[in-house]
Amino acid sequence: MASKTVFIAFAKEDESTRNLFTGQRVHPDTPFEFTDMSVKEPYSSEWKAKVRARIRRSDGVVALISSNTPEATGQLWEISCAVEEGVPVIGIWIEDGYRSKPTEMGSAPCVAWTWDSVANFIDGL
């Protein structure tokens, strides 16, 4: 299986979950692999241009969706940017019971966080 380049869009409040999500790719039983292009440190200036460049270089975008997402203006902009750039996007529900899909995702699906759902998206890139 070839590694894909994936941008992870997440709310700052969900950083620990993003760490768990990206960390699972090194587990020996994980049925997928990817290179994480998410922004780990906030950019001080021109962040949108830098993030847009990362998204353009990515094979796909995984948006980690939680109750923090509606107020996460940076994450919502990243999702909109990916849609504008024509980069495949999938939303991953990271909170039990929270199922509100951001309008910025357009027709992109949101799915449960399972190895199969992530693997199907990554393998399809």
Q: Parse the chain into domains and list their residue ranges.
A: 4-123
pLDDT, tens only, 68-98 = 999 999 999 999 999 999 999 999 999 999 9
pLDDT at 47: 83
Which ranges of 1-125 would DSSP assign to H, the alpha helix?
A: 15-23, 47-56, 73-85, 115-123
Q: What is the pTM of this model?
A: 0.89
- Answer yes or no: CATH 3.40.50.450 is held by domain 4-123: yes
